[in-house]
Amino acid sequence: MTGPTIVALVAGLTAAGCALAGVYLVLGRRAMMADAISHSLLPGLVAAYLLAQGPNILAGTLGAVAAGLATVAGVEWLSRGRRLHADSAIGVVFPFMFAVGVLWVSLSFSNLHIDTDAVLFGEIAFAPIERLTWEGRDFGPVALWQSGTLVIINALFLLTLGKELKIVTFDETSADLQGVSPVRVKWALVTVVCLTTVVAFSAVGAVLAVGLLVAPVAVAQLLTRRLPVLFVMSLVVGVGASLAGHLLALAYDVSISGTIAAVMGGLFLAAWTVAPEQGWVAQWASRKRQAAKLKVQTLVVHVAEHRGTQSQSVENTLEHLVDELGWARPEAEKAVRRARDYGWIRLDGPTLELTDQGLSVARSIL
Amino acid sequence: MLIDSTVRNVVLGCLILGSVSGILGTFAVLRRQGLVGDTLAHAALPGVVIAFMLSGSKAPLILILGASVSGWIAMSLLSSALRTTRLDPGTVMAVVLSSTFGLGVALLSWLQKSPTASLAGLDKYLLGQAASLVSDQVAVMGILGAVCVILVALLFKEFKLLSFDPVFAKSTGWPVAILESVLTGLLLVSIVVGLNTVGVVLMSAMLVAPAVAARPWSRSLTGMTLGAAVVGSTCGLLGAGVSLTVPKVPTGPAIVVFLGVAVVASLVLRHERRARLPAWRRP
């Protein structure tokens, strides 16, 4: 396999694993927990390397997962019963963990290769270089094994705990009745997210790990409300954005992880534009439609008010609408045209007459 | 000159940053916007890089302007996405934060391979480097910080109502939208001012931690705000002191560790004190 192919594979697999873990995280409104966890792994990594006396992958993973769990526990401790909003608790805990990590690295680990820049941005470009070797044999790039295992673990997690996750996420109050412990399920999910973040951040860095976990699900949430569709869409968006970002980054020779994150942001903007209900274009159009409908209803009511009176032939004309309702002429013309299209009025010379349908509409409003 | 100018710059910079971010962080915490600061700090990065690309200059004011513009755009996107979609605020913040930061990183890496660009100083925005503060930067920090503090003092009553009862404020005809923009603008200023001192990642703690530490000890907003300013500036001073005396200790992380200790100490002491009160006096 060539270098870029390996990088693309690692990026795609990591994105798939992240999307799988991200769905219930985002549905449970814990997206920023991913931000907290991904920034807190550093001290755990340092401690594990210190204990293992070297950059051992297994020890590093365990240490980092432990640090992630400690962060979530810290956030829970700060925000429980103390009237401190979870956001504020997160805002204190993760910079603290990151600061401890940075201090620890700069004080005792300058000789060991933990680069704080790499922690933030990852080193996916180097994915083909680091190989997994066992008794002198080369088993391929470590990152490939890591990201592949991640996808398998997360898929298994969803298969075994899918029902419980669904219950706890959508109907937490009834979870106890159904014999599901929300606390246990939550910690299982948090552990999986920690593991996912560890793998993702060694490939793409702390900040993009957040993007991979949250952004595809956010895009999918804009487009669908059905859970199975949400899963498929998150996977497609995550993997698609990773591959597209990788190609773009190669073309312009820029940071791969940064470009993938930016592409995700672009996809979010696109989804937000075209989304059927939540998109801003759809909402703008529906506001326009509402306003137009209101105009026509006003027109019909006005015509109904003066129907059969002496002044009917004066009041119920286009000219008069312009004068009395204070509408601009094109505006009035448009309303009249639309009312005719609906079949609510007909023109009798210059006088506007209600049809039977228009009359019943006006009555229902009045 | 009694003290070395580096020492003076670092100490002054950390003092200004600690107090200003403590004051504005108080309102952010009360309005449950603890992580908005983090989002804006990340969103400032592409602005800094683009400002440098367009101007070719690293003058503090130009970079601060760039950071403010991109932070403001991110804030507008965030609030309009929250208005129009059903997404959770945390979800939108995570998306905005990671994609803007990613854009910044991509632009930065594009600059890095262009041989004409001298990057020194730009990457300091990521982790901050108080030791490299120069007098110009400290002067800008001081002026912007003073503007923030004066505006907060002038609009204190308005911000108070906005933080505790925005619905009432709106119903009595206050220009809530304008006040919110002013408050967010000030928050943004305090963030971009702090970026080259403590960096993108740690900025959130500078805003949130002083307010969290001060909150249990005061029943009034004035007390909490002043308390947060004191905690912020004290930790800023302590962090600067440690990083100046102990070799290899970066300033930003040192300040944040002190802030973390302050939060835990505050909550534990408060808990102790409450436990010692007779039951009928416990709040």
Q: What is the pLDDT of residue B200?
A: 85
Structural domains present in chain B: 5-281 (1.10.3470.10)
d(CA A255, CA B49): 14
Q: In the predicted model, what is the mean pLDDT of chain B?
A: 87
Q: How confident is the model at residue B234 (pLDDT cuts 50, 70, 90)?
A: very high
Closest CB from A102, A265, A272 relative to B99:
A265
Torsion of CA A268, A273, A276, A282, to 10 degrees: 150
A190-199, A301-310, B38-47, B249-258, range with the lowest pLDDT: A301-310
Measured between beta carbons, the chain A residues lying within 8 angstroms of B253 are 98-100, 102-103, 106
Residue bearing tokens 């990340």: B42
A117-126, A159-168, A212-221, B162-171, range with the lowest pLDDT: A117-126
d(CA A127, CA A147): 11
CA B136 to chain A, closest CA, distance in angstroms equals 27
Region for residue A205 given its phi and psi (left: phi exceeds 0; alpha: psi -120 to 50; beta: otherwise): left
Which is higher by pLDDT, A362 or B89?
A: B89
Measured between beta carbons, the chain B residues lying within 8 angstroms of A197 are none
A222-231, B54-63, B143-152, range with the lowest pLDDT: B54-63
Query: Helix (H, G, I), strand (E, B), or coil: what is residue B31?
Result: coil
Q: How confident is the model at residue B114 (pLDDT cuts 50, 70, 90)?
A: low
Which is higher by pLDDT, B151 or A339?
A: B151
Give percent of chain A above pLDDT 90. 36
pLDDT of residue B12 exceeding 60, the answer is yes
Query: Residue A143: how many CA atoms within 13 Å on its side-chain side?
Result: 26
Q: What is the pLDDT of residue A344?
A: 86
H or E element at residue A351: strand A351-354
A132 near B CB under 8 A: no
Q: What is the DSSP string of A303-335?
A: HHHTTTSTTHHHHTBHHHHHHHS---HHHHHHH
B214 near A CB under 8 A: no
Q: How confident is the model at residue B119 (pLDDT cuts 50, 70, 90)?
A: low
Residues B214, A92 contacting (CB under 8 angstroms): no
The answer for A 177-236 residues in CB contact with B (under 8 A) is 207-208, 210-211, 213-215, 217-218, 221-222
H or E element at residue A139: strand A137-141
pLDDT of residue B53 exceeding 80, the answer is yes
Q: What is the pLDDT of residue A239?
A: 96
Q: What is the pLDDT of residue A308?
A: 73
CB spacing of A99 vs B248 below 8 angstroms? no
CB spacing of B38 vs A35 below 8 angstroms? yes
pLDDT of residue B236 exceeding 70, the answer is yes
Q: What is the pLDDT of residue B117?
A: 54
Using CA atoms, how far residue A252 sits from A90, A150, B118, in Å, is: 36, 30, 20
Q: What is the pLDDT of residue A345?
A: 84
Measured between beta carbons, the chain B residues lying within 8 angstroms of A84 are 212, 215
Q: What is the mean pLDDT of residues A20-44?
A: 91
Query: Helix (H, G, I), strand (E, B), or coil: what is residue A56?
Result: coil
Structural domains present in chain A: 3-278 (1.10.3470.10), 282-365 (1.10.10.10)
Give percent of chain A above pLDDT 70. 94
Nearest CA in chain B to A85: B32
pLDDT of residue A188 exceeding 90, the answer is yes
Q: What is the pLDDT of residue A260?
A: 93
Q: How confident is the model at residue A348 (pLDDT cuts 50, 70, 90)?
A: confident
B87 near A CB under 8 A: yes
pLDDT of residue B118 exceeding 80, the answer is no
Q: What is the pLDDT of residue A117?
A: 63
Q: What is the pLDDT of residue A255?
A: 87
Q: pLDDT tens for residues A269-288?
A: 999 999 988 888 899 999 99
Closest CB from A88, A218, A261 relative to B212:
A88
Q: pLDDT tens for residues A68-119?
A: 999 999 998 888 865 688 889 999 999 999 999 888 888 875 555 566 666 6
Most confident by average pLDDT, A322-336, A347-361, B4-18:
B4-18
B90 near A CB under 8 A: yes
Q: How many CB atoms lie within 10 A of CB A17?
A: 29
CA A262 to chain B, closest CA, distance in angstroms equals 5
Which is higher by pLDDT, A245 or A332?
A: A245
Q: In the predicted model, what is the mean pLDDT of chain A?
A: 86
